Homo-oligomer: A and B are copies of this chain.
Amino acid sequence: MIVVLKPEATENDAMRLMQRIEERGLKPLYLPGVERVVLGALGDERVLAELNLESEPLVESVKPILTPYKLVSRDMRGHDTEVKIGKVSVGGERVVVIGGPCAVESEDQLRETAFAVRESGGVALRGGAYKPRSSPYSFQGHGEEGLKLLKQISGETGLPTVSEVMDTADLPLFVDHVDCLQIGARNMQNFRLLSAVGDTGMPVVLKRGLSATIEELMLAAEYILARGNNNVILCERGIRTFETATRNTLDLNAVVYLKQKTHLPVVVDPSHGTGIRELVTPMARAAIACGADGVLVETHRNPAQALSDGKQSLTPPQFLQMVRELRTIAEAVGRTL
- Please give the residue numbers on chain A whose beta carbons come within 8 Å of chain B beta carbons, in ascending order: 2, 4, 7, 29, 31-36, 38, 40, 42-44, 46, 49-50, 52, 54-57, 63, 65-66, 68-69, 75, 130, 132-140, 166-169, 186-187, 189-193, 195, 209-211, 213-216, 219, 222-223, 226, 239-246, 249-254, 256-257, 260, 273-274, 276-279, 282-283, 285-291, 303-311, 313, 325, 328-329, 331-333
User: With a CB–CB cut-off of 8 A, which chain B residues contact A277?
Assistant: 57
18 contacts between A and B (CB under 8 A): A2-B2, A29-B31, A38-B40, A49-B135, A50-B307, A54-B310, A186-B190, A213-B242, A214-B243, A215-B245, A242-B242, A245-B257, A250-B252, A257-B276, A260-B278, A282-B290, A285-B333, A286-B290
User: With a CB–CB cut-off of 8 A, which chain B residues contact A214?
Assistant: 243, 245
Copies of this chain present: 4
Q: CA of A215 to CA of B134 in the docked complex: distance in angstroms?
A: 9
Q: CA of A246 to CA of B256 in the docked complex: distance in angstroms?
A: 11
Known: A55-B306, A68-B134, A252-B286. 15 other contacts (CB 8 A): A32-B42, A33-B66, A40-B40, A55-B304, A134-B189, A166-B191, A167-B168, A167-B193, A239-B243, A239-B249, A241-B241, A243-B251, A253-B274, A329-B333, A331-B332
